[in-house]
């Protein structure tokens, strides 16, 4: 249902890209996982490599679930598009943008 305002609503987003400089917000979602009910949001540099993203963001967050094994072969997607990231690729090169959704599953 659309929201109807009683007056013009012309305010810039408080989470727009320009406020983050070289960083961006990235949503991370472990699909079909009962432990995490929703995606989490992390502030990351656009130039961060995939290996660094996995070791500093994904692994610490996902390891809250006792079933998480970083050595498992995961299927990854960015904004619904399947990706096969390599460790030296940057988030930017993988197409991860501000407020993108990175999801994974077995």
Please report whether residue 52 resides in a domain: yes
CATH (domain of 61):
3.10.20.560
Please report whether residue 29 resides in a domain: yes
Please list the pLDDT of the chain residue by residue as tens digits (106 residues).
677 888 888 889 999 999 999 999 999 999 999 999 999 999 999 999 999 999 999 999 999 999 999 999 999 999 999 999 999 999 999 999 999 999 999 9
Please report whether residue 79 resides in a domain: yes
Alpha-carbon span 95 to 21, nearest angstrom = 17
Alpha-carbon span 10 to 31, nearest angstrom = 35
Alpha-carbon span 34 to 42, nearest angstrom = 20
């Amino acid at each position: 249902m659309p929201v109807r305002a009683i007056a013009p609503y012309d305010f810039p987003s408080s989470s727009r890209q320009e406020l983050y400089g070289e960083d961006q917000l990235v949503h991370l979602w472990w699909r079909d996982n009962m432990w995490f009910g929703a995606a989490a949001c992390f502030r990351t540099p656009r130039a961060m490599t995939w290996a660094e993203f996995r070791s500093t963001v994904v692994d610490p967050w996902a390891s809250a679930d006792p079933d998480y094994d970083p050595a498992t072969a995961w299927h990854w997607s960015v904004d619904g598009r399947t990706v096969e990231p390599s460790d030296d690729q940057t988030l930017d090169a993988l197409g991860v943008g501000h407020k993108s959704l990175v999801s994974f599953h077995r």
